[in-house]
Amino acid sequence: MRSPACPVCKSLTVVCRSQPDLHKCIGCSLIFQYPPPSKSELKKLYSDTDYFSFWGNKRSWSLIDVIKEKTATLLINELIGLNIHTGKLLDVGCARGALLTVAKNKGFTIFGIEPSKESATYAEQKSGGIIYNKLFENIVFEKVLFDVVVFFDSFEHFTNINSVMQKCNDITVKNGYIIISTPNTDSLSFRLLGKSWPHFKQQHIYYFNKKSIRLLLENNGFKIKLMKPSIKVFSLNYIKSYFEVFNTSLFAKFVSSVLSFFPEKLLSLSVTINNGNILVIAQKIAS
């Protein structure tokens, strides 16, 4: 199969990994899956009962909600640091509504998108926001423009990233913002782990670095206001469960094996770490 052109800078690409087939751009170093999974394959992936099992069972979801809200607070505080603290905020892939809950408490009017019906229902009840139980690509926003659009661990899942960016341009107000937290191939974890990097998953289509994500945003009418490592809060139990589910690499198997010897009291502790993601806040360029 002939390697496709890079969807960001149109440069030539080379195969860098198989199963799934990953291609790397020789210009901006974007790594992406080609061909991407079909709609039916993605539907099966996201409907699999194991997909969210690393969140723990229903008895521990309240604990997971707490650490998710701690991470969300870190992100919303980055917005407030840029003097962005009001307006309509859309969280694309809002899960159980942790970020929406924090954003509402900080003064935003909140909207969310969540394909999982169960999670969407919970997010609506918890946050009090308007939740769309559909795919981002399929929603028509009538008479609604957003001041902030957030992609927190969801940006890498889309099959056509340029159409997503065009939609973001269409649905944001003049001088509106887009926030992205996504796996970063400039990160230390990627350089150390290579093909064993935990972010390599079938449902992840794109893997950005600083150069490629800057090009993508600028090509679609956005200017970078902040770019830094994305910091998250985890419990050790969450990390253990995550690597038990996504145990396709030796690194994942090693981590889950080591943590299995930790006592439950220690596993309940939370830690704040850079997990190999990049955080980007960009502003729409007025036309």
The predicted-structure confidence for 35-49, as pLDDT tens digits, reads as follows 888 877 777 766 654
Percent of the chain clearing pLDDT 90 (strictly above): 60
Is 277's pLDDT higher than 70? yes
**Single-letter code of the amino acid located at 93:** G
pTM (predicted TM-score)? 0.90
pLDDT at residue 118 above 80?
A: yes
Quick: pLDDT tens for 159-184.
999 999 999 999 999 999 999 999 99
pLDDT one-digit tens code per residue, 94-111: 999 999 999 999 999 999
